[in-house]
Amino acid sequence: MKRLFIPLAAACLSAAALAVPATAAPSWATDNLQPKPADAYGDAYFWLDSNGAALRKATQYNLDAKNVSKLVSTGSNGAPDGKPGMTGPTTTPKAAVSKNINLPKTIGKVFFLDKSGNYRWCSATSIQSRNRNLVATAGHCVFANGKDDVYDKWIFVPGYYQGKAPWGVYVGAYAFTAYDLDTYDDYDGDFAFVAVHNGFALAGEKEVSRNDFKAWAGDKWVKPREISSAEFLKCQLTLGDCWSEGEDKPADLVGPDYPGAVLEKVEVSEAAYKAAKVGKGQGFKFGEPIVEQVTKPQQDAYQGPGVKGTDKLGNYTITHYYTQKWVKPGTSRKYFEAHYILGIAKDMGRLGDVVGGQGVAWNQPLGQQVTAFGYPSAPHPDGDRPFTGVTPKWCSGKTATKSYQVNTFKVETHQLLKCSMTPGADGGPWLIKYDNNKRTGYVNGVTSLFHDNDGNGRVDYISSAIFDGEVADVYNKANYAETKKIVGPNGELLQ
């Protein structure tokens, strides 16, 4: 890999961890996402509000380049730039044995707003770290193109499925990547490690007093309830929180051609009905008389202008006569009372404690057996769309024994895997030594680019940055990042 990134101190890291000798060029970069819990809560609520409507609205991230040039072999076997190394995975309860590939609990989607404000997602996985809080994904799913900047409202949802977050939402606090990706948009460093806050889930709402509402540090809102004028008067007398809107204004008589005129019917006497004209206008006849069958007591009690009588079968009847009334509708004052509502959130704990974390490996030889996971969604270049992005998919095989160039993205050394997954799988992990029973392995790459190498309009290969010593250096910096709880034991927002 070419030389990578800049020193930028994060408040959560010790000075010793960030110190770089004046003569050394650092290989890593870091940018803040949402270090403060209150801001992180706002990002998560943006995605979770209205039962996850924003999550369901998101589409897979698409790279700017429409035509990726063919892969060119470098002839290199990707010689390590240092000693091989790895850190072991953390696990959650053992999964059942299956003849098929068991999906890791660690994988999921990252969601963010791109620079045009579009709702986007990529694939990602939880990985091992000292603070159980790291996510691995593609660098282009975190960092904007060559702008030394990160995307907005970045979250990780492990196990995501159709707007649901079964193990909570984890908001990004600090992002780490390669210097050349962040500064020069060089995809030899297209990977990122993101330290996330504790996860949380929305756990409903409850109504409280005004004083409790004012003291609450979490999400809250006032829900108005319409009340009667009598209830409003009582509320005022007891100094309650109520108000009125609008004004009482009677309807005005207008002509039938008046803009917004509404037709009403008025019951009149038989004589008035017979005297009325036929047609459209104030006081004109409104349809034919209506004969209503009633009981004898109902007829005796009736005091209106209709005509009482009996029909040929001896049934008691009241005949009603109507004329037209055209009005401009009036208005009436409405009365409301305030109800104070708190949004309750539940702390889900650290990411690695909830779903575990895959191991990380570096300076491994090419030609390894790997299993790559992701949420492919985009169509193939020929327009065929076999994937929906709703559920994760996988490819399994050995990586190429030589590294490859992709000039469009300034790539000089990528590792290659034969695979038909399409965009949406960006950022998904490449796991070596994958244990299908434990659902764990070692991340030795993340999906970066997609290739149609034989020109038949179908993706046939995916490629990843080679995880070498410089990737290990970036990982080591991210490994020290400390993050926080967002909500307290009672669901209150922490500062």
Distance CA 185, CA 65 (A): 13
Q: Provide, for the chain, the percentages of residues in helix, strand and coil under a 3-state DSSP scheme, each rounded to the nearest 5.
A: 15, 35, 45
Distance CA 4, CA 48 (A): 36
How far out from the chain centre does Cα 384 lie?
26
Is there a domain that residue 339 lies in? yes
Distance CA 471, CA 444 (A): 10
pLDDT along the chain (495 residues), means of 10: 31 34 61 89 85 89 65 71 78 48 91 93 97 96 76 95 86 92 82 95 83 80 88 82 86 89 93 95 94 94 95 93 92 89 88 96 95 95 92 94 87 94 96 94 96 90 94 94 88 74
Is there a domain that residue 35 lies in? yes
Residue ending a domain, among 294, 328, 362, is: 328
Same-domain check for residues 45 and 160: yes
Q: What's the domain range around 73?
A: 15-198+350-479
At 3 the pLDDT is 30
The answer to whether 414 and 471 have CB atoms below 8 angstroms apart is: no
Same-domain check for residues 322 and 339: no
Distance CA 200, CA 349 (A): 7
The answer to whether 118 and 64 have CB atoms below 8 angstroms apart is: no
Same-domain check for residues 256 and 225: no
Number of domains in the chain: 3
Distance CA 280, CA 256 (A): 7
- Tokens (6 digits) for 79: 């010689």
Instruction: Specify which residues 319 forms β-bridges with.
Output: 291, 307
The answer to whether 302 and 318 have CB atoms below 8 angstroms apart is: yes
**Number of other residues whose CB lies within 10 A of the CB of residue 80:** 15
For residue 333, how many C-alpha atoms fall within 13 Å in the half-sphere facing its CB? 10
Same-domain check for residues 228 and 271: no
Q: What are phi and psi of 156, to 5 degrees?
A: -120, 130
- Tokens (6 digits) for 427: 């950022």
pTM for the whole structure: 0.72
Is there a domain that residue 52 lies in? yes
How far out from the chain centre does Cα 219 lie?
18
Compute the C-alpha angle 168/174/176, nearest 5°: 115
Is there a domain that residue 1 lies in? no
Q: What is the CATH number of the domain that holds 140?
A: 2.40.10.120
Same-domain check for residues 339 and 310: no
Encoded amino acid at 349, one letter: G
Encoded amino acid at 185, one letter: D
At 66 the pLDDT is 54
Distance CA 130, CA 134 (A): 9
